[in-house]
Amino acid sequence: MSRMRRSSPTLLGIGLIALVFAAVTIATAPGIYSPDSVGQLLEAQRGVYSDGHPPLMAGLWSLLLRVSGTAETLYWLHLGLLSSAFVLFALAFRRSDLPGAVWLLLPAACSPAILNFIGVLWKDVGLAVSLAFCFACVALSRAARAGQITTLLVVLVVSFYAVGVRHNAAPAVLPLLWLLLLPFFSRPGWRRSVGMATLAIIGTGLLLVGDRLVSYQLLDAQRLHLEQAIELYDLAGISVISGADVIPDEAKGANFSSQALRAAYGPTSSSSLIFRPDRATPPLLQLTANPQYLTTFRQAWEHAIINYPRAYLSHRGAVFASLLGSFWPTVDYEQESATFEASVGVLGDPAVKSIDVGRPIVGQRVAASLLMAFVNWAAVHTYLFYGWLWLLILVVTFVAAIVLRKRPMAEVAIGLSTSGLLYLLPYFFAAPSSDFRYLYWSIVAANLSTVIVGGILIQITVELLRSRETQARKEAVLEAG
């Protein structure tokens, strides 16, 4: 009876979280499609890939499409990973005697910044749900003190997908592998730290190598060399800020001029520089597949950074500040949902109409409208859609978890906040725009680390109150005696 009573709060918490995800499913199933999603779906259908989209993600989608006959399976996989992560965390908190953390999972699941993107078939979402699931597996394994080998195998498989959909997430995987290796290094000391760090780096490197083999050898993906887009964006920024023309002639479009460059350049996006404004107008800066030109671009980029470091840092700082301080807050479900009429939004593509993208659940229009109203309200009246808030939360939870490191689950909170920071901060050097979705994993990690730290603080408060109550009773007995 007492065991059932102890389990009831956890079961109730899991039930409420399940209700949240059920509502989200009604609003977003069988998936929300952006233009990138449509392009990736077409690659999956045709079996012809490029690294303009993650080949591993498109390859998995192609496999799911052929096995199930419908494109909605990738949506269910992503939603299943995130919902499973919340359930596994709830079970881990129960075993760690952190009932407060179980209840804090509910507001985390309702976070508008998480709900806003959960139904979108994006690589950013695939990364976030995969890493959340991996950290949840590690948390439960550590709480149960069992299943380390099974957890190791599961996490390696799922984290392979995470790194495959976002190569720049490799640093964010390091804290996950560190936590994964902890049970296998029982003796504390510097040798343990060095050994785990070395294995974590090697493991992350092997995941990247494995992804390249799958992408370019197994799937034969075409190389588009998209790194040149960052290089040209940086060269444009350096040119505008320093006043020196550091852009190679091979990269300049037919209508390029210094005046046009200054007019088109901005810290919010590189699109106006490297993409056509319309079919009749060529872009200012031209991407290339010519190996010689690619080498020229790289050398010009390196020399410009060395010769104009202040202009480079000023440009990169402005882009990063734009990423943290402005946002593309909401996804318009009525324009981008695969579940509405084929003539609506991006799914008007005739090639996509031939693919079974699934059917909406009854009540979707109402549920989607309510969800969008909630997300839009939060975008207007809160700071939840500003990147700097989540950066601050990650820093605070990291410091708090370090202070509370001897408490159950504190190491998982350290890993989550560190992973979120290692994913967010490198965008200083690599962000091509201020697109809020780039921060999705950092937002999920910040929510989960806050849940753990909050649960620990609640438990400390309860223990303190109980201790005072016990002390008061003892003093009352002494006085009565």
Each residue of 316-345: pLDDT tens digit? 999 999 999 864 544 544 444 443 333 334
Three-state DSSP class for 122? coil
Q: Give the range among 6-20, 99-113, 133-147, 418-432 with minimum mean pLDDT.
A: 6-20
Biggest alpha carbon–alpha carbon distance for the chain: 97
CA pair distance 250, 284, nearest whole angstrom? 11
- Where along the chain do its domains lie? 2-222+332-383, 227-325
Q: How many CB atoms lie within 10 A of CB 371?
A: 23
Phi, psi of 252 (to 5 degrees): -85, 130
Mean pLDDT of the residues in the chain: 88
pLDDT value at 347 more than 70: no
Which tokens hold the place of 22? 């059920």
Q: How many CB atoms lie within 10 A of CB 399?
A: 13
Three-state DSSP class for 92? helix
E strands in 37-160: none
Quick one: pLDDT at residue 350?
61
Quick one: pLDDT at residue 379?
86
Question: Would you put residue 206 in left (φ > 0), alpha (ψ -120 to 50) or beta?
Answer: alpha
Quick one: pLDDT at residue 5?
55
Name the nearest CA neighbour of 227 among 270, 173, 283, 284: 270
- pLDDT tens figures, 141-150: 999 988 899 9
Quick one: pLDDT at residue 480?
73
Which tokens hold the place of 4? 């059932």
CA pair distance 439, 117, nearest whole angstrom? 11
CA pair distance 243, 24, nearest whole angstrom? 50
CA distances from 90 to 87, 105, 291 (A): 5, 8, 51
CA distances from 95 to 156, 397, 423, 456 (A): 24, 22, 29, 13
Beta carbons of 303 and 323 less than 8 angstroms apart:
no
Quick one: pLDDT at residue 333?
46
- Nearest-5° Cα angle at 281, 276 to 287: 45
If you count them, how many residues does the chain have? 481
pLDDT-derived band at 375, boundaries 50, 70, 90: confident
Helices first, then strands: H and E counts in the chain = 22, 0
Phi, psi of 312 (to 5 degrees): -65, -50
- Average pLDDT value for residue range 460-481: 82
Tell me, what amino acid is at 401? Answer: A
- Average pLDDT value for residue range 255-283: 85
pLDDT value at 38 more than 70: yes
CA pair distance 396, 417, nearest whole angstrom? 9
User: How distant is the alpha carbon of residue 273 from its chain centre?
Assistant: 26
Contacts of 256 (CB under 8 A, 6+ apart): 284, 285
Name the nearest CA neighbour of 389 among 416, 424, 422: 424
pLDDT-derived band at 6, boundaries 50, 70, 90: low
CA pair distance 80, 143, nearest whole angstrom? 22
pTM: predicted TM-score of the whole model, two decimal places: 0.91
Three-state DSSP class for 120? strand
